[in-house]
């Protein structure tokens, strides 16, 4: 399956929440949660500082976020650094991360040991497999994120705070990518991704800004 690029989509600046405790430990989060680390806080502040002059006025953008705590915290940090009003952020459940069911909170070694059949099935079908214990397939994520994109106002650019998986799907829909192509895309937590007119621009946080906020390296997480 390949998504057609939405013909009337606005410009969308896609952000990923900053590093969390479970990111650092290599644990699946899904729709469960863990708080941002100091590095994760610094990543969002540095990105906001990098983008400040490029974004202009808050009124030029619609602000939307996944409602999970780590994305709420990340959007609050981003807005605070820009001097924007966090109360103007809309929260949309369609931007939530893929649900991983009973895998959430576990690392890969623990999943392979406790649920080997689940893990093997997901390896065979990364797109279509849903964990039977409350999990969700990426095909299902694609359907819900597609409805979010279809409702965007073509005349109103968007800042969207999302996740590693659902953010890749959002970018893939906006770019007309197929499933395999979507998951080749990076999801660095120190980068923003601007999608406009079917083209993607990756905007890394300025290294000097990262250093000012105590982050010494870019944060690429799976």
Q: Which active-site residues does the annotation give? A: 17, 97
Q: 39: number of CA atoms within 13 Å, CB side?
A: 16
| 185 in Cβ contact with 171 (< 8 Å) | yes
Nearest to 221, CA basis, from 165, 175, 178, 174: 165
| Chain length of the chain | 222
Element (H, E) at 62: strand 62-65
What are the structure tokens assigned to 103, written together? Answer: 């895998």
Element (H, E) at 202: strand 199-204
For the chain, the C-alpha Rg in angstroms (whole number) is 17
* DSSP codes of every residue in 76-110: HHHHHHHT--GGG-EE-GGGSPPPBGGGTT-BHHH
> Cβ neighbours of residue 53 under 8 Å, at least 6 residues apart?
none
């Amino acid at each position: 399956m390949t998504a057609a690029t939405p013909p009337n989509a606005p410009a969308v600046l896609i952000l990923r929440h900053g590093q969390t405790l479970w990111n650092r430990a290599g644990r699946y989060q899904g729709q469960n949660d863990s708080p941002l680390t100091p590095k994760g806080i610094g990543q969002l502040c540095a990105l906001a500082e990098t983008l400040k002059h490029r974004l202009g006025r808050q009124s030029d953008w619609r602000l939307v976020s996944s409602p999970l705590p780590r994305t709420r915290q990340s959007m609050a940090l981003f807005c605070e650094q820009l001097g924007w009003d966090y109360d103007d952020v809309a929260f949309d459940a369609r931007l939530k991360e893929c649900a991983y069911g009973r895998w959430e909170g576990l690392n890969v070694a623990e999943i392979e040991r406790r649920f080997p059949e689940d893990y093997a099935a997901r390896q065979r079908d990364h797109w279509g497999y849903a964990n039977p214990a409350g999990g969700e397939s990426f095909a299902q994520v694609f359907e819900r994120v597609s409805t979010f994109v279809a409702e965007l106002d073509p005349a109103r650019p968007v800042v969207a705070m999302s996740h590693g998986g659902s953010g890749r799907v959002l970018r893939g829909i906006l770019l007309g990518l197929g499933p395999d192509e979507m998951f080749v895309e990076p999801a660095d937590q120190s980068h923003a991704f601007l999608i406009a007119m079917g083209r993607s621009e990756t905007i890394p946080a300025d290294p000097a800004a990262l250093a000012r906020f105590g982050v010494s390296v870019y944060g690429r997480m799976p």
